[in-house]
Each structure stands twice: as C-alpha cells, then as structure tokens.
C-alpha cells in the first residue's frame, strides 16, 4: 500500500471532482448570497399565508432554497473532509452552519402555523391550488407531529440555538479528526513513528502479537489522555438529546429518534432482546479464537487478527473495483453500469492522506450525483468498504432517478440494507470462486468478523446508547466512570468471559463518532438482518425478489421504511428476520469450527 504524505501526490483519477457541484468558489459564494436573500423572502410569509396560492408559493420557494442549501452544504463538507486542518474549508462549513440557522429561523413559523390549521382548511387550500398536490402527502404527514411542535416563538428560539445543539458533535469531530495524535510505534527499521488510523487498521490484524499490542496501546493513548474532555462532550450530546425529547413532549429520547421513521420502540427493544437471547454462538466464537491463536490469555488486541494464517490478501484498488463489478453482477446490468460511472466520472475519493476525514461515507446530492469518501488500504476490508459505500451510492442514484426531490432522500433506516446486500453478495461470490481451502476458511472467518462488527457490535452500541440516555432522563450524572462501567459491562456481556481486559477496553465509547447521532447504530443491525434475507433470495435467482429490491432502491422515502421493506418480503415488526440472521451466524461459527 502506497502511503501519501499529501493530497497533491494522489493521482486525479483517485480523487473526487467537486466541480460537478460548483466549478469555482465564486459560484458557491453567489449561491450562498442567493440563499440568504431567499431566506429573508421566506420569513415574510410569516402571517401572510391565507390561501392555497400563498401556501404553494411558500412551499415552492422553500424547496428551491433547500435544493441550493443542500448543494452549498455538500460542497463545504466534502471540501472540508479532504483536509480537516484546512482553515479556509472550515470557514465554509461555519458559514453554511450559520446559513442553516438563518433559514431555520426564517421558516420556524411554518410548522406551528400548519398544525394550527384545521384539516378541512388545508384540503380547501389544496383544492384551490393544483400545485399543492405535489406537497399534499408531506403536509398531511406533518400532522403526526402535532403534539411535538411548540408555539411559533419557542420554535424560533430553538432554531436560533441550532449551532449550540450541534456543538458536541462538532467538537468531537475536531478532536477525533484534526487534533488526535496517536502514540508512537516501532517501524520495520527499528525507529519510532507516529501511528495513523490506516496503519492501525493494518497492524491490529498483524500475526505478530507484540505489534498488535503496541498499535493498540498507541491508538488508545490520545483517547485516554482526553478522556474527561470527550466524556464531557458525549455527556452534553446525550443530555441535549434527552432534554429536547422532553421539551418536544416525547416519552423518551429513543422514541423521539424513532418517530420520524414511524418505527415502534418494540423494534429496537426486540433487536437487543433477540440478540442477547442468542448470544452463545458469539461467545463460542470468542473461545474458538482463543484456541486457534493458542493463547493463554485472550485480549482485546487479539480480536481482529485473522484466524487463518498466511492468506492475507493484497487487493489493489483497480482489482477491488473489478471484483466488485463481478460480485454484484446478480443485481443486473443497470446496477453495474451505475457503478462504472462512479469510477469513470470521479465520484470517489480513494486514498488516505494527512488530515483527511477518517472512515468512509456516501453523500447523495439531488441534482448532481453521489460522492463517496474512502480511505482505501488495498486489503480485503477496503474491498468490502468500497462495496458497502457503493451500495449507498447506487441507492442515492436510483432514488434520485425515480423520485421527485420531496421523496428522493431515503431514510437512514433503509440505507444500511442497500450497502449490506452488496457485502453479502460479495462474500458469496468470493467463496464460490475460491478453490484454495485455506483462503475459503479465511473468507468464512472474515464473514464471521463482518457479522460481528456490523451486527453484534452495533447492537452492543445501541444498548449503550439506550442505557446512557435512560440515565440522562433520570437526571443522574454522566461522566468517565459511568461511561466506563456501562461499556465494560456490555463488552463482556456481548463478547464472553474469555477476554482479559486491558485498561483501554472500557474506554471504547470514547472513539465512536456515531454516538453523536442518537440511536443511529441499531440501523446497521436491522439493515444487516434484512440484507441477509434479501441477498439469499437474490442469489437463488428469485426474479420477483430482485425486481422488488430494485424498486425498493428507487423508492426513496415514498413510504415509511418498515413499509418499504415489507414490500420486499422483510417484516421487522416480527422477530423473524433477526432470529433468521442469528441462526445463520450460528451456522457460520459451526462451519468454521469444523474447518
């Protein structure tokens, strides 16, 4: 794997092309000024909507503004993520944040106004103005929020505080991406070098246990050094979520987060309960890991090393992309042609560089196309990450292609289905086309670890979120000790008693950015369970399932997510999809134990 010391060194074909959004910063500036003017214009509708015509004009202008705001936000975000140390890019993001607050303040009157209307009045407005048909379903869906929207002055005040409410996430982002300096490790020539995230991802899988231990300690060093700051930041985020739920008259922060998707809390609770009821295969896998590694003591830095030796695969990006195309061929020609565009038209930013945002994501931009951030390391994990994010990318593409703007943005709840179906199809392709028995065992091991990371770990995170929010809702303190106690207890419960805990284990919560998006991570697990069901049927050649799945990808938010999934044959209001996935995990562990 080539390590780049600056972004300039990366070839253009491995960097995204942001000129598809704005060809230069002047065009971005011009759009920002236009949005500011439109925000003022929207504010003038406060108290001036009296008929269908004025309601339509407001909604049409608001949608046009939203379209532009999404573009200026996307550009500033993508630019900033290229190098989180870039002060100019940070300034763009700060301007967009302020702009969002202005727009929020200008339009904050609308929901209180709408929810004060009688349904008969709204129906009359729609009858008066044909253009309102486009907004009709969205308008009536807003009535679900009647009990949770405050008065006009209170909503205006909350919108003004938007930046303050998002401060914990912003602060953690800067700590985690820009300020963190990992400890030193021993290089191949015996010298000392500073660890990077990319290096850590490689070293934690090293067969040399001392290298794993050294990387693990160096990786956690800055988190332990900043434990009180990060704990205060996370506590502020959790308490804000809990207080906002109370202010908006939700029974709990969990139910507030689930409300938008119309997901009953029983789906969340059932996920945790069903997983813990079938946790024994996970514990068995931990024991198998200890045995295969021939260790007297299993520690946290032993949990990622592959259990099948001498089959570590180096997969260059070009090869990874071609493998993806072959593995996803069951999804059809249209799907594959969309994937090819991603690479040919430079929608993907491939390489890790200093200051670049860690991890990976897809950002769909209506009216442009998706952009995908990677930190590709030319290994098997990077291949799976590519396939995962391209699943999101195709989902964004098809939803934008088949839905109007108002319903093109899909819920995060269904997003993880699209990405994980791709991963399941890929693993089956790799297993079906591999003749070397050792490599096959390695792939089964990888599938088990993928299952662990995407399902079990996310359920553990989901329970951590639920427990910490329950503490905040009781008005009890949240601090380092509380977070450590909860996390350490859950880690043992989910992974079993075979692990000897180093000091770092209980600080696992301190490095998780998803905790700043409340009750998000459970969707990885429900998405994974749904994907296992769908991918299995697609691989069996069920044309009806494939057709319903492709329609699902083009559905955006045209229905509630649980209803969209039901159309593909997956019903998450029952335990069946979760239990089915857990049964498959048990089979994989059994197969690996015999291998």
Active site residues: 389
- For residue 577, which phi and psi values (nearest 5 degrees)? -60, -40
For tokens 């945002």, name the residue.
Answer: 357
* Helix 317-327 × helix 380-402 angle, to 10°: 60
Nearest to 62 by CA among 113, 25, 120: 113
Nearest to 175 by CA among 241, 119, 126, 223: 223
Cα gap 76→91, rounded to integer Å: 9
Cα gap 207→351, rounded to integer Å: 25
DSSP symbols for 403-447: S-HHHHS--HHHHHHHHHHHHHHHHHHHHHT---HHHHHHHHHHH
Determine the distance from the C-alpha atom of residue 124 to the mean position of all C-alpha atoms in its chain, rounded to a whole number. 41
Decide: helix, strand or coil at residue 221. helix
Decide: helix, strand or coil at residue 252. coil
Decide: helix, strand or coil at residue 187. coil
Tell the burial category of 66 from Cβ atoms under 10 Å away from its Cβ (0-12, 13-18, 19+). middle
Tell the burial category of 188 from Cβ atoms under 10 Å away from its Cβ (0-12, 13-18, 19+). exposed
For 391, the token pair is 């699943």
Which run of H or E residues covers position 364? strand 361-364
CB 150 within 8 A of CB 247: yes
For tokens 């067969």, name the residue.
Answer: 207
Cα gap 344→342, rounded to integer Å: 6
DSSP-assigned letter for residue 52: H
For 509, the token pair is 């919560």
Cα gap 456→423, rounded to integer Å: 16
Residues 6+ apart with CB under 8 A from 71: 21, 22, 31, 365, 367, 368
Cα gap 323→313, rounded to integer Å: 13
């Amino acid at each position: 794997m080539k390590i780049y010391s600056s972004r300039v060194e990366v070839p253009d074909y491995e960097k995204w092309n942001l000129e598809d959004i704005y060809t230069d910063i002047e065009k971005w500036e011009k759009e920002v000024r236009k949005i500011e003017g439109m925000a003022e214009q929207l504010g003038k509708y406060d108290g001036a909507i009296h008929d269908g015509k004025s309601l339509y004009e407001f909604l049409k202008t608001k949608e046009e503004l939203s379209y532009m705001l999404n573009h200026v936000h996307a550009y500033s975000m993508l630019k900033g993520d290229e190098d989180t140390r870039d002060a100019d890019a940070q300034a763009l993001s700060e301007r967009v944040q302020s702009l969002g607050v202005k727009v929020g303040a200008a339009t904050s009157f609308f929901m209180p106004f709408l929810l004060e209307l009688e349904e008969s009045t709204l129906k009359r407005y729609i009858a008066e103005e044909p253009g309102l048909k486009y907004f009709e379903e969205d308008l009536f869906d807003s009535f679900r929020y009647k009990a949770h929207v405050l008065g006009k002055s209170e909503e205006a005040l909350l919108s003004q505080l938007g930046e303050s409410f998002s401060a914990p996430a912003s602060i953690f982002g800067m700590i985690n991406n820009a300020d963190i300096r990992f400890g030193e490790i021993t290089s191949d020539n015996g010298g000392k070098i500073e660890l990077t995230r990319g290096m850590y991802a490689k070293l934690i899988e090293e067969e040399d246990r001392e290298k794993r231990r050294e990387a693990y300690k160096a990786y956690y060093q800055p988190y332990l050094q900043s434990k009180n700051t990060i704990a205060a930041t996370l506590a502020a985020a959790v308490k804000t979520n809990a207080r906002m739920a109370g202010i908006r008259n939700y029974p709990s922060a969990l139910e507030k987060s689930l409300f938008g998707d119309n997901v009953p809390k029983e789906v969340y609770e059932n996920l945790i309960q069903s997983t813990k009821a079938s946790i024994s295969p996970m514990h068995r896998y931990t024991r198998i890991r200890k045995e295969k590694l021939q260790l007297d003591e299993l520690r946290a830095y032993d949990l990622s090393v592959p259990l099948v030796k001498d089959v570590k695969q180096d997969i260059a990006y070009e090869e990874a992309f071609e493998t993806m195309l072959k593995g996803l061929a069951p999804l059809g020609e249209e799907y594959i042609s969309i994937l090819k565009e991603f690479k040919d038209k430079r929608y993907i930013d491939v390489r890790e560089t200093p200051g670049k945002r860690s991890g990976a994501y897809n950002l769909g931009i209506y009216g442009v196309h998706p952009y995908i951030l990677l930190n590709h390391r030319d290994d098997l994990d990077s291949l799976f990450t590519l396939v995962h994010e391209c699943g999101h990318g195709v989902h964004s593409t098809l939803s934008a292609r088949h839905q109007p703007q108002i319903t093109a943005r899909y819920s995060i709840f269904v997003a993880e289905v699209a990405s994980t179906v791709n991963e399941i199809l890929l693993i089956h392709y790799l297993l079906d086309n591999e003749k070397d028995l050792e490599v096959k065992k390695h792939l089964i091991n990888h599938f088990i670890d993928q299952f662990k990371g995407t399902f079990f770990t996310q359920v553990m995170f989901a329970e951590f979120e639920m427990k910490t929010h329950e503490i905040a809702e009781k008005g009890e303190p949240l601090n380092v000790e509380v977070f450590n106690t909860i996390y350490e207890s859950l880690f043992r419960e989910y992974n079993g008693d075979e692990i000897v805990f180093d000091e770092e284990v209980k600080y696992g919560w301190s490095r998780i950015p998803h905790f700043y998006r409340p009750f998000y991570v459970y969707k990885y697990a429900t998405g994974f369970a749904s994907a296992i069901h769908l991918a299995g049927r697609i691989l069996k050649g069920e044309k009806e399932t494939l057709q319903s799945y492709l329609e699902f990808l083009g559905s955006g938010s045209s229905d509630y997510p649980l209803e969209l999934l039901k159309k593909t044959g997956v019903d998450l209001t029952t335990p069946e999809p979760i239990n089915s996935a857990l049964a498959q995990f048990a089979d994989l562990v059994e197969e690996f134990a015999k291998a």
